[in-house]
């Protein structure tokens, strides 16, 4: 029976982009240089956007979040996965005019 392996969560610097900077083609939001075990995408924008992890393919739709922030957790560790050297890109699905997109992530320090 598998057991949990304790690790120390390491918060990584949050990535963000304002609605006005998001266009019809993919724009780089930023890159996490440590392997991701948990990430959270939060939108406070007035239109939907699409997130990509390669800048080519659509990976995650992010709905409107200006009245109630849209929060999408991505728990890679729970599924026994890591994402390494992850770049995050975003493009319009609708046309956001206010708000921002925030991506927070955690890595782990294994004993």
Across the chain, how many H-helices and E-strands are there? 0, 9
In a domain, 29, yes or no: yes
> Tokens representing 92?
């319009």
State the Cα–Cα distance between residues 108 and 5, nearest whole angstrom: 11
**At residue 78, what are phi and psi to the nearest 5 degrees?**
-60, -25
pLDDT at 1: 45
pLDDT score at 69: 82
- The pLDDT score that the predictor gives to residue 41 is 93
Provide the residue range defining the domain that includes 56: 19-87
Residue 98 lies in a domain: no
Q: How far is CA 40 from CA 1, 25, 37, 43, 92, in A?
A: 30, 22, 10, 10, 19
Q: How confident is the model at residue 55 (pLDDT cuts 50, 70, 90)?
A: very high
Domain annotation covers residue 107: no
Inside any domain, residue 58 = yes
Establish if 4 belongs to a structural domain: no
Q: Which residues contact 2 (CB under 8 A, 6 or more apart)?
A: none
- Is residue 109 one of the residues assigned to a domain? no
pTM for this predicted structure: 0.84
**Would 76 be classed as within a structural domain?**
yes
Residue 14 has a pLDDT of 96
Tens of pLDDT, residue by residue over 68-109, are 888 888 777 766 767 777 899 999 999 999 999 999 998 876
Q: How many domains does the chain have?
A: 1
Domain-embedded: residue 25: yes
3-state secondary structure of 68: coil
Whether the Cβ atoms of residue 83 and residue 53 lie closer than 8 Å to each other: yes
């Amino acid at each position: 029976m598998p057991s949990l392996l304790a690790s120390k969560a390491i918060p990584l610097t949050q990535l963000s982009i304002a609605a006005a900077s998001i266009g019809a083609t993919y724009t780089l939001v930023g890159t996490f240089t440590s392997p991701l075990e948990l990430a959270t995408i939060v939108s406070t924008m007035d239109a939907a956007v699409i997130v990509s992890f390669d800048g080519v393919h659509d990976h995650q739709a992010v709905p409107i979040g200006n009245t109630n922030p849209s929060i999408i957790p991505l728990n890679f560790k729970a599924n026994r996965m890591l994402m390494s050297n992850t770049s995050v890109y975003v493009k319009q699905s609708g046309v956001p005019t206010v708000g921002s997109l925030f991506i927070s992530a955690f890595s782990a320090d294994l004993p």
